[in-house]
Structures are given as structure tokens and as C-alpha cells.
Amino acid sequence: MNHVKALLIKLVMITLVLGIILTGIFNREFSDTLWISVILTILAYVLGDLLIFRKAGDDSDHTKRNIIATLSDAILTFVVVYFMGQDIFVGDGDLIRAALLSAIVVGLGEWFFHKYLDNNVFEEKPNHHRATS
């Protein structure tokens, strides 16, 4: 159940960021933004969170794992927004700027999302704030 909650949190975060950037700033349809958000959420959760963040580096080195996963999520965001945008937003000359801005802001959100995952979802990772019983 924790993974479902984490996926929903990630979907809301990504949809808000892309909604503001793609729909609000770059005047794209919200339905297209939502479609990109859903695809990006699933890919980023599986690749960035379950495979990279959960497995990267030493279990006790949260910062190293977070940096690796956050950079991976930002790159994935750029790639997904750019390539899906090329298909959806025909003739958009601002697509690189939209993808870059999206990648930066989603990356910032991912930094904090990974902290949430460590504390609430990935129980096999040691949490220095939790008492062992």
C-alpha cells in the first residue's frame, strides 16, 4: 500500500509541475500534459526510485543515492517531455526550454520525494531516526 501512496504523491507532484510549466507557461493542452505526467510517473518510479534510488550506492549513504537518483530522474524527465512533446506538440520551437525547465523543477521535487521514500516506503533501508525493536 505504501507504493500506491508513493505513486499517487509522485503523480500529483509531476502533474502540478508539468501543469504549471507545459500548460501554464507554454500554453499546451492539459490533457496532453496529464498524459505525459502519467507516463513519466510510471517510468520514473520504476527506473529512478525502485531500481536506481533503492539500489544505488551504500545503504547508509542517503545523500549519494539521492544525488544519483535525482540526476537520473531529471534526465528522464527531459527525455520523456522532449520526445513525447515532439509527438504531441507539433511545431513547438520552445520544446527544449520546456523540457529543460521541467527537468530542473521535477529534479528538485524528486530530491524531497526520495527522502519520503527512505522514511516511509523502503523499510529495508536503515532509518537513523527510527528506533529498532
Task: Encode pLDDT of 92-110 as tens digits.
Answer: 678 999 999 999 999 999 9
pTM: 0.86
- The pLDDT, as a whole number, for residue 41 is 97
All three cell numbers of 12, joined, read 500529483
Task: Encode pLDDT of 13-68 as tens digits.
Answer: 999 999 999 999 999 999 999 999 999 999 999 998 888 887 776 666 778 888 99
CA 132 to chain centre: 30
Quick check: 8 pLDDT over 50? yes
- If pLDDT is split at 50, 70 and 90, which confidence band does 131 have? very low
Mean pLDDT of 2-21: 95
Rounded to a whole number of angstroms, the CA Rg of the chain reads 16
Q: How far apart are alpha carbons 80 and 107 in whole angstroms?
A: 13
Contact 18, 103 (CB under 8 A): no
Q: Which phi and psi (to 5°) does residue 26 adopt?
A: -100, 10
